Structure 1
Amino acid sequence: MRIAILASGVLPVLDGVTVSVDARVRRLVARGDEVLLLAPAAADGARPAGLPEAVTFVGLPSVPFGAAASDRNVVPAAAREIDRALAAFRPDLIHVDEPERLALGLRRIPGQAFARRHRVPLVAFFHTNFADYLGAEGRYYGLVAPVRAVVWRVVAQLYNRYDATLVPSAASLARLRRFGLANGRAGRFNGADTRGFRPDLRQPGYWADRWARPDIDGRVVMLIAGRLTADKGWADWQRVLPALAVRLGDALAIVVAGDGALRGEVERLVAPLPAGCLTGAVPRAEMGALLANSDLYATLSRFENASLAVYEALASGLPVLGLEAGGLPGQVRHGVDGLLFRPGDASGFVGGLARLVEDEDARRALREGALAQRPLLDWDSAFAAWRDALSADDPP
């Protein structure tokens, strides 16, 4: 099969889109499929390091986009490059990751014109709840709800221009349908690298050896990992972390891994904690060990769709604490492999986490629930579900 993938980003930019695109491209190549990958070009125009040589890569004209220094998005001139590359490649199918972001840069529906002219199937993949980011800083979130509803309807109509929309969260698909999406297919299309994220990477003295923090070894460790930006729930963490320090003292070590626009604020928040640690950005190759040497993974983001970080935490044997929001209820089974709380329920979160810290048996039960998920979480299973959805003959 000849498949063209038009994506909003590629590694080394690190996010859910780039990791999932890389996982699928590698498996397509291993199957013997021919792959054309089109994505925003890096500032230096170089081919992405580590991309399989068998992949035909076309870097598209782009400009900086978002808070990350290396993150970019296409510009209108990229439309001509896309058409030329597709005409030369002659794909059997075009797959578009995060088309709303690409459409913002291209000022047209990504891939549509070529697909319709040449009668090529055109499939979109829904990655990010962009509409929810409006007012994400917290103060005006409720006030802009009508605007978000309008944006959700616009997004749903954009995706309706595709032959099918793949959504890795049943909750997100249900929401999109309420706003008018007519061609959605849900499935577990995202996964985790279960060879790189596994519990046997745990080792004695890890925190002393790697982070010069011997005080963390031997304590229950809660890990918060990701961009230090408003959408990751830092307005809520400002209430939760001090409350945890009062309730648990140094019985709980709180480790924050990541970097971003809020780093200064997060540093000031973490510094007074009895056993707090801000690592900064952690290389992806080291994330497996970081997770395996933690005991709990926590997120207060309200905007996740199907979080790769959550799948990686579960694959590492970590119970996940999160919110009953976005796609998390489809990833975390409350009381089985994690705990879910109502958005804004800081006292409930603190109380639930405290019970886990104080009750080793309760932590062990949730850990066993997370480990039971491992066979279902690997990228091979996610890739098979994705391929089945692409080859579906019947309309959704």
Structure 2
Amino acid sequence: MPVNLLATPAADLYPVPGARWGITEAGIRKADRKDLAVLLLDEGASVGAVFTQNRFCAAPVQICRAHMARNAGQSHGIRAMLINTGNANAGTGDEGLSRAQACCIALARALNLSPEQVLPFSTGVIMEPLPHDRIVAGLAAALADARPDNWAQAAEAIMTTDTVAKAFSTRMTLGGATVTITGISKGAGMIRPNMATMLGFLATDACVSPSLMNQLARELAEGSFNRVTIDGDTSTNDSFVVVATNKAQHAPVTSLDSTDGQVLRAAMMAIAKKLAQAIVRDGEGATKFITVQVEGGKTGEECRKVAYAIAHSPLVKTAFFASDPNLGRILAAVGYAGIDDLDQTKIDLYLDEVLVAKNGGRHVDYLEADGQRVMKQREITVRVVLGRGEVADTVWTCDLSYDYVKINADYRS
């Protein structure tokens, strides 16, 4: 059961002017489920994206990169996105590329666009042929369903092993105008995004210079999706797309360091963090949401090394599942994180407010009952103080339960 996570009611998700979602059931892998979505953008929208750093990237990722490059600096730009679940179209070779391209061509023809104006996305089982005929056949129904208020349905349509649709929305004032920000994401397993998330789409009607969009996507991903992990696996299909439809009535943002740029980035980051943390809260088999905060580092990189060493450790994660305060496992992870000149005599370890270890050793006042009390909570903060500098960073993760193994053992059945 997800950790303190409920689906956002559709009524609480604001439509983004200039963007419409269409959803249908195409029977890509299973019958009677939403598995095909199209996102249609009005002319003039700006798009930025980041994709997986996994070298064995899926066919749709390869095509997205090519289409993004082709549209860089073009006035017509990206106008449509096509997302299917149930099949990742990864590990499928040239045939996978051909099938993904065929889907782009079919959608482009239906919309009177060029195929390069379409971005394809897939998620699901790897190394199975994409049933592109079912996708093409489902396009008419998806297009007929296209509406500005379909964000909740879109969040459902991109799910795989997710148990809760992930969508968040906000409104703000920018340059005297009301601006909307709405996003969806999916992911529950095979999550250690090495750029973004399994799939994430974040849109605003703010006016943003096209030249800033890739920078904005990178910065948002780095502060949110690149701070979560479930099992340490980087997917072949990770994709995070940021859209500005440029419909709001304010002066365009031409620098993210300007006052308006900083305000917009902060508001979008808040939604991106909610989407990223929702993935961890709905992690496969997760029973606990864990914040790993590392302070006192020399650099952000070494703080992240320590945080991920803790967050990825099966021994640490299973201890949290069992509410077992076997906290030497955390100190061991700190030690093998890869900081060669680490001084263990300066390290402090906290569970929430409980000081567990001081100067590298068990604190004299620490009681195991206090540690167990914290570990029984649904939400826990692990705080490590390295005593090396002034830098801090944070990673969000979950525990590792029996159900994680069951879900992944039965994934293809």
Normalised-by-shorter TM-score class: under 0.3
- TM superposition score normalised by structure 2: 0.26
> Would you tell me which structure has more helix in proportion to its own residues?
1
- TM superposition score normalised by structure 1: 0.27
